Amino acid sequence: MDLADIPVLLMLIGIAAYVVLAGADFGSPFWTLTARGERAGEIREQTHRSMAPVWEANHVWLIFVLVVCWTAYPEVFGSIFSTLWIPLIVGCLGIIMRAVGYVVGGYATRRWVTWMATVASFVTPFMFGAVVGGVVSGRVPVGNAEGDIISSWLNPTSMTIGVVAVTLCAYLAAVYLAADADRKGRADLADAFRIRGLAAGVVTGLVAAAGVVVLREDSRFVYEGLTSGLGLADLAVSAVAGIVTLGLLALRRFPAARYTAAAAVVTIVAGWGIAQSPYILPPDLTVAEAAAADNVLIGLLVAIAIGLLILIPSLLLLYGLVLAGRFDPAGGDVVDHPDLVEGGTAVHLTDLDLPKRRSVGLTILVATTGAAMTLVFDDGAGLYAGVAMLIGALATGCVLLAISLAARQDEAPEG
């Protein structure tokens, strides 16, 4: 593998993560909207609660993919975004509408909000799927808006991948929600989602199978990659994972189904990469040709490596808390305030210590010196030291002033 290939691999991982994690965010409003009867409210609650803590983080995968693309393959980014701007902007507006659903969803049920979120949840996966279709079918030439701004995404391949993306999201949502309900001991809800998951899974499978036929007619190159060698093997793994998931759902093995469903998605994305290689914009531009200079790629990879070091434990912490049910309402073990309350009485109730005159004086001294230095020095170490003193004193000053102000507010107000 070349250095030039690593970023595209990371992009595929990012896309897979985005579909696996954020896909369910988009799938869930559909189940909310179609829920009827007395369980409707519960389904709504359930979908909102399961997704609300994680959707923003899920979403960052998309940003990650974009950033890697424009750093490592700048022309590819410019070409895709100028030619396919319509599905991209519509998809993005869909993301905003979906966010409205989350923002309002915590406070009220509003039919129009559910509708908006549902429309968004069709629009965004569809449009992003259509973008992928435009790329794999070779409709994005290199250059500033060189491709047709309509047929680059209104074409058989794009339509197919768009529809697969929509059904896939609904399917993933149902599987995850079933697992969540099961974890909370709500067998009835889990069953409701189980049936939905089975139905959506079958539909997704059928559309995907039909899609292979469409690819044969419309995107020969990728079709051939997918139906031979490594591509074919990958497709087979994906199909098996899909079928196993349906089986697990049928058997009510929900947690396992969660993982096999994700595996099916990951293999589909991998298959795309295999089928398209070595091209990044088929039929002309290869990954190697598109890549930025080596030192840029190395810089990017170093940055990503450092980032991952911090990111991975953080993500594990978040998903760990969510999957352990720690954020469930009234569920999990609510922690009291052991260090504050014991048997209902306060352990301690202290007043704030007013800042000492000395520390206030010192802060003012540092601030004034720093301010004077920023004015006297035009550049260089003197200026930067001055700014550092000024900002340091500002931070300290804010804490001291805020404490002394807050402490005084305990007394009855004057005036």
Partner 1 sequence: MASASQVFPPTDAFPAVDQNYLLEARQMQALSFAMHIPLVCFGVAFPAMVIFMEWLGLRTGKIHYTAIARRWSKVMITLFAAGVVTGTLLSFELGILWPGFMSVFGDVFGLAFGLEGFSFFIEAIFIAIYVYGWDRLSPRKHLLTGIPVMVSGLTGSLMVIAVNAWMNNPSGFEVVGGEVTDVQPWSALFGNGHLWPQLTHMYLAAYVVVGFLIAGVYAFSWLKGRRSAYFRTAMVVPLAIACLAAPTQILIGDWAARTVARDQPIKLASFEGLYKTTKGAPETVLGWYTDENTIEYGIEIPKLLSLLAYHDPNATVQGLETVAEEDRPPINVVRIAFQTMVAVGTGLAALAAWFLFSWWRRKRLPRSKWFYRAVIAAGPAAVVALIAGWVTTEVGRQPWVVYGVMRTEEAVSGADGIVFGYAALVVVYVALFTAVFWVLRKLARTPLPPEIVALEHAGGSRVDAAGLRVNERPGAGSGGGTDRKGGGDGSG
Q: Which positions touch ligand HEM (CB under 6 A)?
A: 56, 59-60, 63
Total residues contacting partner 1 by CB under 8 A comes to 131
- By the rule CB under 8 A, 290 interacts with partner 1: yes
Burial zone of 326 (CB within 10 Å; 0-12 exposed, 13-18 middle, 19+ buried): middle
- By the rule CB under 8 A, 21 interacts with partner 1: no
Contact pattern for partner 1 over residues 136 through 165, marking x by CB under 8 A: ------xxxx---x----------------
The set of residues, in sequence order, having a beta carbon less than 8 Å from that of 392 and lying 6+ positions away, is 366, 370
Helix (H) and strand (E) counts in the chain? 16, 4
Residue 63 or 206 with smaller CB distance to ligand HEM: 63
Tell me the C-alpha distance between 162 and 274, whole Å: 20
Tell me the C-alpha distance between 414 and 249, whole Å: 66
Residue 227 or 396 with smaller CB distance to partner 1: 396
Residues 74-93 that bind partner 1 (CB under 8 A): 74-75, 77-83, 85-86, 88-90, 92-93
By a kind-dependent CB cut-off of 5 to 8 A, residue 187 interacts, out of ligand HEM, partner 1, none, with: none
Which has the closest alpha carbon to 26: 151, 141, 169, 148?
Answer: 169
Q: How far is the CB of 166 from ligand HEM (least distance, A)?
A: 22
- By the rule CB under 8 A, 346 interacts with partner 1: yes
3-state secondary structure 264-302: HHHHHHHHHHHHHCCEEECCCEEHHHHCCCHHHHHHHHH
Interacting span for partner 1 (CB under 8 A) from 29-37, 43-51, 182-190, 206-214:
43-51
- By the rule CB under 8 A, 406 interacts with partner 1: yes
- By the rule CB under 8 A, 362 interacts with partner 1: no
The residue within the footprint of partner 1, chosen from 48, 183, 184, 186 (CB under 8 A), is 48
Tell me the C-alpha distance between 35 and 41, whole Å: 8
CA distance between the termini of the chain: 75
By a kind-dependent CB cut-off of 5 to 8 A, residue 305 interacts, out of ligand HEM, partner 1, none, with: none
